[in-house]
Amino acid sequence: MIRPILFAASRAAASTVPRQAASIARPLFRSSLLSSRHIIPAISFQGVRCYASSGGLAKEEVTGRILDLLKNFDKVTDPSKLSETSNFNNDLGLDSLDTVEVVMAIEEEFSIEIPDKEADGIHSVDQAVTYILSQPDAH
């Protein structure tokens, strides 16, 4: 929205400046110390890039990606027990080392780093989804 306004303003500014002043004036001598002429800068407009933060991840997307990750995890013996409320230990039969591996896989999947203190509290799909949704830099 702001980009067209900036382009219109730069065109208006360029049209009001005489042609002679719009070009770069070059000094007669190579050294600017020897020249008494002042260099008039060219009026130009560089392109502006506007970046916005993403809208965030939807809960359904995060849940689906975590469930797909768990379906492909070789230690999950019964994929039929996978749901949004599955507990890694009770429902899926994963031990503590397997849970750490799952959390590491979630870190890689969403390009984030989960501190050890936070990772120790993730024991179910629900908890993992809640944690991922609370992270603004998760992809």
Tokens representing 55 are 């809208």
d(CA 139, CA 135): 9
Which of 68, 95, 120, 137 is catalytic? The answer is 95
Tokens representing 78 are 């019964």
Q: Is 95 a catalytic residue?
A: yes
* Residue numbers annotated as active site: 95
